[in-house]
């Protein structure tokens, strides 16, 4: 009886490990919103980005053994870059925080002093982290939802597709 229980637990552990590894392998890579091609084309042609859908590119890095997610988010319309921090992966769902990358010694003029500049890029005037919850809905689609301070969904869902090679 004890041997059967040991085998059953080992099988459950193996299945959980394989599921996490499969999700990790699926999430790893570059993902884009539908607006990316139009934004890239407009930039190349030196045209205005006004009125275009948001172009977002996310590069996920996954450590399957630790169940951790990291990477970068680039908003092409605004040329802002965000770092993915505190990422956790469980099966096909994941959570992370995005923090705007601000060069050391520079302020974030969109965040400090109501767009009047100022600050030296210190933690007191750093942009706030934004929490996200995501799901790998299929091999080529990820959905992301922004979370409020209490962890509840806030806003619409963002859909991304695996970027072409």
120 Cβ contact partners less than 8 Å away, ≥ 6 residues apart:
105, 106, 107
pLDDT, tens digit, for every residue of 22-44? 444 589 999 999 999 899 999 99
pLDDT, tens digit, for every residue of 45-102? 999 988 888 899 999 999 989 999 999 999 999 999 999 999 999 989 999 999 998 7
- Give the integer Cα–Cα distance in Å for 121 and 27: 32
Residue 12 corresponds to which tokens in the numbers above? 């459950």
- Give the integer Cα–Cα distance in Å for 45 and 49: 11
Helix H or strand E segment including 6: helix 2-27
> Residue 79 gets which letter from DSSP?
T
Q: What is the pLDDT of residue 113?
A: 41
Q: What is the pLDDT of residue 124?
A: 59
- Give the integer Cα–Cα distance in Å for 50 and 47: 9
pLDDT, tens digit, for every residue of 100-127? 987 655 554 544 444 434 444 445 566 7
Cα within 13 Å of Cα(112), Cβ side:
16
- Give the integer Cα–Cα distance in Å for 65 and 114: 43
């Amino acid at each position: 009886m004890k041997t059967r229980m040991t085998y059953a637990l080992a099988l459950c552990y193996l299945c959980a490990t394989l599921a996490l590894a499969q999700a990790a392998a699926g999430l790893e890579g570059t993902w884009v919103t539908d607006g990316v091609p139009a934004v890239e084309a407009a930039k190349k042609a030196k045209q205005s980005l006004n009125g275009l859908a948001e172009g977002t590119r996310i590069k996920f890095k996954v450590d399957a053994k630790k169940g951790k997610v990291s990477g970068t988010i680039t908003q092409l319309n605004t040329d802002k870059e965000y770092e993915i921090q505190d990422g956790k992966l469980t099966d096909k769902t994941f959570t992370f925080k995005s923090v705007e990358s601000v060069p050391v010694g520079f302020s974030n003029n969109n965040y400090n002093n109501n767009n009047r500049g100022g600050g030296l890029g210190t933690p007191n005037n750093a942009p706030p982290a934004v929490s996200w919850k995501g799901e790998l809905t299929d091999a080529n689609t990820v959905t992301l939802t922004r979370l409020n301070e209490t962890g509840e969904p806030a806003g619409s869902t963002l859909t991304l597709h695996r970027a072409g090679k």
